[in-house]
């Protein structure tokens, strides 16, 4: 009995000892794999000459897959149709490239994979792997490099295509609209570019924010930049090129109008508004009247008319001051009549340097200030004046405001009448002012200005426009009533003295007006003044 009990106790003790020892260490999967896949071989070999295959295989030491291949993989010169490249979904130990068309003779091709090649388990990239081959006896070996920048914004967009067009008897600047370039590369998510394996010759160097990834310039959606002089190789291989991208202003074009309601149409347009005029050519009643004003956010004109009349369609003549003239036809039918909806520029608080502004979805016709009352937080009436601007379809209220106060604007019924006879119901709009101590101020002085005027603009960290000052002489620009936060300041060299930044035009060979950013991000604090001096180079 005693021996049996001892055996049981010994067994239990042994089990506890084993469990205790087991707890001293925990089995894990080992250290995280951070080693990228390694290139093993290619068939045909990388940097082959006299290439005559229709398929390439590139092998790695582990299973890989291709990520974001459409953006990352750049083939130069571009191919149409593009070759089939796998694996795009499943993992494999090799990449297969199958050509779908005949390759050009005596041409060096470069396939840059960017950071698309990653291992299957951890996604470690094999960065900037390139496969190069030539259909001729030798490989072209010349190279140029440079950087891209945005002509207006502080940071350029990622994935900028940089291209070279060969200058020969067939070249013209219009080729960028419909022909792929001779050589192309991408900045990926950098600002730097390299164009490798180039042959001797003369080239036009351009850069595109290529929204369609088709290596042609589509002005409606793409940004473009260009180097003004001809690039000559091999003479220019030592240069470091800088290209500034800009969004061109399209030539003015009026789009087909669309009826929105019983008494209104919208006219979209491309380019700059430039005093666009709309004239109805169809027969109208004797007392026919119109009201036209621009949309606050879109490239659109709102066209309103009264009274309503019946017709199957309407014929409009649209013109502007730059010799544009067109005739547009719109379908016309009886629809619902819009009701008036009022809004304001106040989003809870009103800055000290802006007036309270009332907006309407329908054209404002009349404001009766006798039916409007403005009171402060002590319910004391505040005297005000109101100015109606029918061209902008807004009403501005001017009054003496005080800091850290709350206001209520009360509009009694029929205080506002619109163009088609609608009136408002009772409306109350509440807003407040902050303490002056809640804001900060930047005093900004420029030195070494070669030519006035210059425009100084303040933006937030994301590039959103905040305020601007036009400086015509040596003076300090003051940006006050700024909310606490981080700001960038940029200086626009206003060469044509028109008070705004002008973009470039590729076909006219015009670069955008130069913009110089103050190098530091300025942090504005409440009840704080910053004083900065910027010496222009």
pLDDT of residue 21: 45
Residue 524 lies in a domain: yes
Three-class secondary structure of residue 275 per DSSP:
coil
pLDDT in tens, 294-333: 999 999 999 999 999 999 999 999 998 888 999 999 999 9
Name the pLDDT band for 97 (thresholds 50, 70, 90): very high
pLDDT of residue 35: 87
Task: Please say whether the beta carbons of 427 and 371 come within 8 A.
Answer: no
Answer yes or no: is pLDDT of 24 > 80. no
Name the pLDDT band for 12 (thresholds 50, 70, 90): very low
Average pLDDT over residues 412-423: 97
Answer yes or no: is pLDDT of 246 > 90. yes
Answer yes or no: is pLDDT of 18 > 50. no
Burial class (CB in 10 A: 0-12, 13-18, 19+), 86: middle
Q: What is the CATH number of the domain that holds 269?
A: 2.60.40.10
Of 134, 154, 172, the one marking the end of a domain is: 134
pLDDT, averaged across the chain? 92
Residue 425 lies in a domain: yes
Q: Are 418 and 444 members of one domain?
A: no
pLDDT in tens, 140-152: 999 999 999 999 9
Helix (H) or strand (E) holding 71, with range, is: helix 69-72
Q: Are 94 and 119 members of one domain?
A: yes
Q: Are 285 and 377 members of one domain?
A: no
User: For the ranges 132-141, 319-328, 456-465, which has the lowest average pLDDT?
Assistant: 319-328
- DSSP E strands: which ranges in 335-475? 342-344, 356-360, 364-367, 372-376, 384-389, 394-399, 406-411, 416-418, 427-432, 440-447, 454-460, 465-471
Q: Are 153 and 182 members of one domain?
A: yes
**Residue 311, domain extent:** 253-331
Looking at the chain, the whole-number percentage of residues with pLDDT higher than 90 is: 84
Name the pLDDT band for 32 (thresholds 50, 70, 90): low
Residue 286 lies in a domain: yes
Task: Please say whether the beta carbons of 507 and 173 come within 8 A.
Answer: yes
pLDDT of residue 322: 80
pLDDT of residue 344: 95
What is the Cα Rg of the chain in Å? Answer: 34
pLDDT in tens, 474-502: 999 999 999 999 999 999 999 999 999 99
Residue 107 lies in a domain: yes
Best CA proximity match to 257, nearest among 311, 325, 326, 329: 329
Q: Are 83 and 117 members of one domain?
A: yes
Residue 182 lies in a domain: yes
DSSP designation for 274: S
Of 134, 163, 194, the one marking the end of a domain is: 134
Answer yes or no: is pLDDT of 28 > 60. no
pLDDT of residue 521: 97
Answer yes or no: is pLDDT of 157 > 60. yes
Name the pLDDT band for 33 (thresholds 50, 70, 90): low
Q: Are 73 and 163 members of one domain?
A: no
Average pLDDT over residues 446-455: 96
* Number of compact structural domains in the chain: 5
Q: What is the CATH number of the domain that holds 194?
A: 2.60.40
More confident residue, 71 or 466: 466
Q: How far apart are CA 528 and CA 372, in angstroms?
A: 37
Q: Are 162 and 209 members of one domain?
A: yes
Answer yes or no: is pLDDT of 128 > 90. no
Looking at the chain, the whole-number percentage of residues with pLDDT higher than 70 is: 94
Answer yes or no: is pLDDT of 1 > 70. no
Answer yes or no: is pLDDT of 23 > 60. no
Q: Are 425 and 445 members of one domain?
A: no
Q: Where are the alpha helices (DSSP H) in 224-336?
A: none
Q: What is the CATH number of the domain that holds 389?
A: 2.60.40.3780
Name the pLDDT band for 533 (thresholds 50, 70, 90): very high
Three-class secondary structure of residue 69 per DSSP:
helix
pLDDT of residue 31: 63
Task: Please say whether the beta carbons of 116 and 72 come within 8 A.
Answer: yes
Residue 2 lies in a domain: no
pLDDT of residue 8: 46
Q: How far apart are CA 42 and CA 96, in angstroms?
A: 10
Answer yes or no: is pLDDT of 2 > 80. no
pLDDT of residue 189: 86
Residue 420 lies in a domain: yes
Q: How far apart are CA 106 and CA 231, in angstroms?
A: 22
pLDDT of residue 30: 52
Q: Are 392 and 299 members of one domain?
A: no
Q: Are 241 and 281 members of one domain?
A: no
Residue 416 lies in a domain: yes
Q: Are 46 and 121 members of one domain?
A: yes
pLDDT in tens, 188-245: 889 999 999 999 999 999 999 999 888 899 999 999 999 999 999 999 999 999 999 9
pLDDT of residue 3: 43
Average pLDDT over residues 434-440: 94
CB proximity list for 19: less than 8 A, separation 6 or greater: none
Q: Are 232 and 153 members of one domain?
A: yes
Of 245, 262, 286, the one marking the end of a domain is: 245
Q: What is the CATH number of the domain that holds 87?
A: 2.60.40.1220
């Amino acid at each position: 009995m005693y021996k049996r009990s001892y055996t049981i106790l010994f067994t239990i003790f042994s089990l506890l000892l084993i469990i205790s020892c087991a707890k001293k260490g925990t089995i894990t999967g080992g250290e995280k794999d951070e080693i990228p896949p390694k290139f093993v071989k290619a068939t045909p070999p990388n940097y082959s000459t006299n290439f005559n295959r229709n398929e390439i295989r590139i092998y790695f030491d582990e299973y890989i897959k291709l990520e974001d291949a459409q953006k990352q993989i750049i083939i130069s010169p571009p191919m149409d149709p593009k070759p089939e490249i796998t694996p795009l979904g499943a993992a494999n130990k090799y990449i297969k490239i199958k050509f779908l068309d005949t390759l050009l003779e005596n041409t060096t091709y470069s396939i840059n994979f960017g950071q698309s090649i990653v291992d299957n388990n951890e996604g470690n990239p094999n960065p900037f792997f390139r496969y190069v081959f030539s259909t001729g006896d030798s490989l072209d070996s010349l190279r140029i490099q440079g950087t891209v920048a945005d002509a207006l914004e502080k940071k350029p967009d990622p994935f900028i295509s940089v291209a070279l067009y060969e200058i020969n008897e067939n070249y013209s600047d219009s080729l960028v609209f419909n022909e792929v370039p001779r050589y192309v590369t991408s900045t990926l998510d950098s600002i730097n570019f390299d164009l490798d394996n180039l042959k001797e010759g003369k080239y036009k160097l351009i850069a595109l924010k290529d929204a369609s990834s088709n290596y042609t310039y589509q002005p409606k959606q793409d940004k473009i930049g260009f180097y003004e002089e001809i690039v000559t190789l091999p003479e220019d291989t030592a240069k470091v090129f800088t290209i500034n991208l800009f969004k061109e202003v399209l030539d003015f074009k009026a789009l087909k109008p669309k009826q929105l309601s019983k008494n209104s149409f919208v006219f979209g347009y491309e380019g700059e508004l430039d005093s666009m005029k709309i004239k109805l050519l169809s027969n109208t009643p004797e007392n026919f009247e119109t009201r036209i004003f621009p949309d606050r956010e879109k490239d659109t004109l709102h066209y309103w008319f009264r009274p309503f009349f019946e017709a199957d369609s309407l014929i409009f003549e649209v013109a502007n001051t730059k010799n544009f003239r067109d005739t547009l036809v719109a379908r016309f039918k009886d629809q619902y009549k819009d009701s008036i909806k009022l809004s304001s520029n106040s989003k809870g608080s009103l800055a000290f340097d802006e007036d309270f502004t009332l907006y309407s979805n329908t054209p404002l016709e009349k404001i009766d200030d006798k039916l409007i009352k403005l009171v402060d937080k002590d319910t004391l009436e505040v005297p005000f004046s109101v100015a109606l601007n029918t061209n902008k379809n807004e009403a501005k209220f001017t009054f003496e405001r005080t800091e850290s106060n709350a206001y209520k604007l009360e509009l009694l019924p029929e205080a506002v009448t619109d163009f088609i006879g609608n009136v408002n119901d009772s409306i109350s709009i509440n807003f407040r002012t902050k303490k002056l101590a809640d804001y900060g101020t930047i005093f900004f002085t420029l030195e070494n200005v070669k030519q006035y005027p210059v425009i100084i603009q303040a933006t937030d960290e994301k590039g959103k426009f905040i305020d601007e000052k036009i400086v015509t002489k040596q003076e300090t620009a003051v940006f006050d009533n700024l909310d606490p936060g981080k700001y960038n300041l940029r200086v626009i060299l206003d060469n044509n003295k028109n008070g705004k930044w002008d973009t470039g035009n590729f076909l006219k060979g015009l670069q955008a007006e130069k913009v110089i950013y103050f190098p530091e991000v300025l942090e504005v604090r409440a009840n704080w003044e910053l004083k900065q001096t910027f010496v222009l180079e």
